[in-house]
Amino acid sequence: MIQATNISLRFGKKALFEEVNIKFTEGNCYGIIGANGAGKSTFLKILSGELDPTTGEISMGANERLSVLEQDHFKYDDQIVLDTVIAGNQRLYDIMKEKDIIYAKEDFTEEDGIRASELEADFAAMNGWEAESDAASLLNALSIDNSEHEKVMSELPDTDKVKVLLARALFGNPDILLLDEPTNHLDLDSIRWLEDFLIDFENTIIVVSHDRYFLNKVCTHTVDLDYGKMQIYAGNYDFWYESSQLMIKQMKEANKKKEEKIKELQEFIQRFSANASKSKQATSRKRALEKIELDTLRPSSRKYPYVDFKPDREIGNEVLTVTDLSKTIDGEKVLDHVSFTVGHDDKIAFVGSYGIAATTLFQILSGEMEPDEGDYKWGITTSNSYFPKDNTKYFDSNDTIVDWLMPFSPEKDATFVRGFLGRMLFKGEDGLKKVNVLSGGEKVRVMLSKMMMLGSNVLLLDEPTNHLDMESITSVNNGLIKFPGVVLFTSQDHQFIQTIANRIIEFTPNGMIDKVTTYDEYLDSDEMARKRQALN
Ligand SMILES: Nc1ncnc2c1ncn2[C@@H]1O[C@H](COP(=O)(O)OP(=O)(O)O)[C@@H](O)[C@H]1O
Ligand SMILES: [Mg+2]
């Protein structure tokens, strides 16, 4: 259990939190969500005691131990890997060190003997004899082999350091676990392992993440940080999203009676809890759902862009045929006799760690690059638009956003373009900003505006979710689920792939796998795992 009472925090004049009162209890996993800069990381620092709030206090259950995923990858560079993990339980580690010093003494006094036996008792009570093997198995689970355990941290690549820090946070069954963006820099297998670990974890977890799939999987509760306040929702991210959308919709229908509203929400909650899977988490979620107070639901201040791709014409049966396409870049054969045919209902995710292959393929298909060998043929009913992974060269211009978009607009009229930009969250004078000064996220929203205006029936999207916040990712995600045309895309966002794609193509350096399936089925399939192994 960990509790924040009357927490306020001010940096100068700006108040990040005001009178926050919140209690986190064991058996639950709380996902903290909020816009960039809302104060999620700062709040975790207050909980862990790293940062003092302006007012208020943090309290924990008696004798409880709190553990934090540390962010500084270089902090333990001069320490041994295995020690770094065990030192996650500082008290245990101190006992081990003190014992070592006493036993190393040449003249072992009576006092030393008494001290040693005290230490041994504490050590045994803390399961000290298991410490090394526990730490080793956490590391192994994150695919850091035994041969690495005695190395010094600085010898490990950065991606492995992240895993050691994670193992350190998880080590020794802490009572309270604080994780800030734990899936960043982790590979897919490690993320899946972490999900299972957290689902089985019985104490209190507080996690910040922008990975919706991860949040949906592990969280029993969602904590929304908005307007400097924190609101707890019983349920995972999708539940929070659906209920907040529902609230917005209902507020707009002003003349509806309150009873009707309550009834609709209750039915909604019931439907949702019936869907929940039968894990331990689901039971506690269900219990909490039953207790939910309708008054605590209020519309959030989040802004969702309105993403809707409407094709100008229906797509025919002939969409795209790719035949024996090859391309060598910087001496590396990136595409090697690639062939496939696209059907008119296909939404294909190109997955795997060999991302350069898909990027190259998209550049060729969009006409930006010539293949070395082979060819491709678009069906006559098709028109495609392309979202490049690297958009730098497109925005190397002094044009305003409105000017930049005008050539693609079906109506050559600034008012029309501005209206369009409004729904992509560019308000008022924003349309007069020069495109070369836009942030990464703003450029992505402009590029998506262009694609919506073009009205194509085939979309090629290379990492459209990079640089976007959760709200915009959700909007693009919903827009592509709804889109009646063909989509070829890549993304790092698990939920995005899972909810859009009906076919998966994985490029490896030694060939490709092509399967009509959902992403989760693809990842779970032993057959696919064997194929992947054979190709790597
Ligand atoms: N020491 C500080 N002094 C002034 N402002 C700070 C300080 N630390 C963080 N902030 C500001 O507080 C806000 C919240 O930051 P952070 O907690 O990192 O947000 P989040 O994790 O939600 O993205 C940001 O606007 C940040 O610039
Ligand atoms: Mg943060």
The Cα–Cα gap between 410 and 452 comes to: 10
Q: Check pocket membership of 50 for ligand 1, CB cut-off 6 A.
A: no
Residue nearest to ligand 1 atom 4, measured at CA = 11
Q: Are 357 and 335 in contact (CB under 8 A)?
A: yes
Longest dimension (CA), the chain: 93
User: At 272, is the pLDDT very low, low, confident or very high (cuts 50, 70, 90)?
Assistant: low
* Mean pLDDT of all residues belonging to the chain: 91
Least confident of 89-103, 170-184, 272-286, 451-465: 272-286
Instruction: Select from 74, 71, 119 the least CA-distant residue to 93.
Output: 119
**CA proximity to 342, closest of 319, 364, 317:** 319
Tokens 């592509």 identify what position?
480
Beta-carbon-side half-sphere exposure of residue 151 (alpha carbons within 13 Å): 16
* Percent with pLDDT over 90 in the chain: 79
For ligand 1, atom 16: residue with the closest CA: 39
Which-ligand-closest: CA of 13?
1
- Report the candidate in 1, 64, 51 with the shortest Cα–Cα distance to residue 205: 1
Q: Where is 45: in which H helix or E strand?
A: helix 40-48
Distance 69 CA to ligand 2 centre (A): 13
SS3 507: strand
C-beta of residue 302 within 8 angstroms of C-beta of residue 210: no
Q: Which ligand has the nearest atom to the CA of 181? A: 2
If one residue of 10, 36, 42 were mutated to test the ligand 1 pocket, choosing by the most ligand atoms within 8 A of its CB, it would be 42
* C-alpha of residue 376 to centroid of ligand 1, in Å: 49
pLDDT band at 353 (very low <50, low <70, confident <90, very high): confident
CA 236 to chain centre: 14
Distance of CA 11 from the midpoint of ligand 1 (Å) = 9
> Torsion angle, CA of 358/364/365/366, rounded to 10 degrees?
110
- CA neighbor of 321 nearest in space, from 384, 377, 380: 377
Q: Per-residue pLDDT for 409 more than 80?
A: yes
Buried b (16+ CB within 10 A) or exposed e, 185-206: ebeeebbbbbbebbbebebbbb
Give residue 174 CA to ligand 1 midpoint distance, Å. 27
494 Cβ below 6 A of ligand 1: no
Q: Lowest-pLDDT range, 64-73, 263-272, 415-424, 465-474?
A: 263-272
**Lowest-confidence pick of 84-93, 291-300, 329-338, 346-355:** 291-300
Residue of the nearest CA to atom 8 in ligand 1? 42
Cα(414)–Cα(435) distance, integer angstroms: 16
- Predicted local confidence at residue 300, as pLDDT: 63
Which one of the ligands is nearest to 35 CA?
Answer: 1
**Protein residues placing their CB within 5 Å of the ion ligand 2:** 40-41
> What torsion do the CA atoms of 523, 526, 531, 532 make, to the nearest 10 degrees?
40
More confident residue, 19 or 268: 19
Q: State the average pLDDT over residues 406-415.
A: 95
Give the pLDDT of residue 264.
Answer: 64
The tens digit of pLDDT for each residue in 295-338 reads 444 556 778 999 999 999 999 999 999 999 999 999 999 999 99
Q: How far apart are CA 513 and CA 504, in angstroms?
A: 8
Sign, CA dihedral 13-16-20-24, equals negative
For β-strands 347-351 and 332-342, DSSP reports them as unpaired
Separation between Cα atoms, residue 355 and residue 339, nearest integer Å: 17
50 Cα–ligand 1 center, Å: 14
Cα 386 to Cα 358: distance, rounded to the nearest angstrom: 13
* pLDDT tens sequence across 282-302: 455 445 445 544 444 455 677
The DSSP bridge partners found for residue 327 are 335
Q: Which two tokens stand for residue 305?
A: 């862009």
Compute the C-alpha angle 214/461/487, nearest 5°: 90
Distance 471 CA to ligand 1 centre (A): 20
Helix (H, G, I), strand (E, B) or coil at 306: coil
CA of 202 to the centre of ligand 2 (A): 25
Our answer on whether the CB atom of 45 is closer than 6 Å to any ligand 1 atom is no
| Residues 33-45: tens digit of each pLDDT | 998 888 999 999 9
Task: Give the residue, by CA position, lying nearest to ligand 1 atom 6.
Answer: 11
Evaluate: CB of 34 within 6 angstroms of ligand 1: yes
Domains of the chain, residue spans = 66-174, 242-296, 320-396+450-535
Q: Which CATH class is domain 320-396+450-535?
A: alpha beta
Q: Residue 436: pLDDT above 50?
A: yes
Name the amino acid, one letter, at 2: I
